[in-house]
Amino acid sequence: MRLLLLAPPGAGKGTQGDRLAEHFGARHLSTGDLLRAEVTAGTPLGKAVQGALATGDLVPDDLMIELLLEPLTSAAQGGGYILDGFPRNLAQAHRAFEMARDLGVTVNAVLALDAPEDVLRERLLARGESSGRADDISDVIDHRLQVYAKETRPLLDYYEGRGVLRRIDATPEPDVVFQSILDSLADLPESIVPPDPDAD
């Protein structure tokens, strides 16, 4: 299974990415987690992206490709991948498609999770209070949502045009959202979607 999660901050793509990875036996590749790990480790890449992460801006395309090339390739050769956080604009989408096509690891479906802005903002503020993440404060949240609307939301039309988009309401509880995602994937070939071991 090869899935792309496309969602604004606070829509729950990290939670759903973990659950989908476990369900399908794939690897959850969260670019946010990968980038924060690079910053924590003090690598050259981490130092190069630290400023962008703190302000909620997009990380340059070349650095994102550098970050993802090895883990994406190894995950695709294993049980597949659930990619969360890339691409975030049309230029990255074109680069990502070219890279995945050349490697033979293009996505089976793109899951577009969405919820009203007030719900997203409330979730992010609550997460910031509990986790202390530097990008979950009010001013940065507003900027991140604006960046998503301007840079990332146009990808919905791009992936819809390619016939791989699945739109998911991310407002309900995580269990409900997860079931909606599985239902949206029911039309994929059986060779991609294995039988549910918990089904009757």
The residues carrying an active-site annotation are 13, 88, 127, 133, 144
Instruction: Name the H helices within the chain.
Output: 13-24, 31-41, 44-55, 61-77, 90-103, 117-131, 138-147, 155-161, 174-184
| Three-class secondary structure of residue 78 per DSSP | coil
Phi-psi region of 196 (alpha: psi -120 to 50; beta: other; left: phi over 0): beta
Answer for the pair 131, 75: CB distance below 8 angstroms, yes or no. no
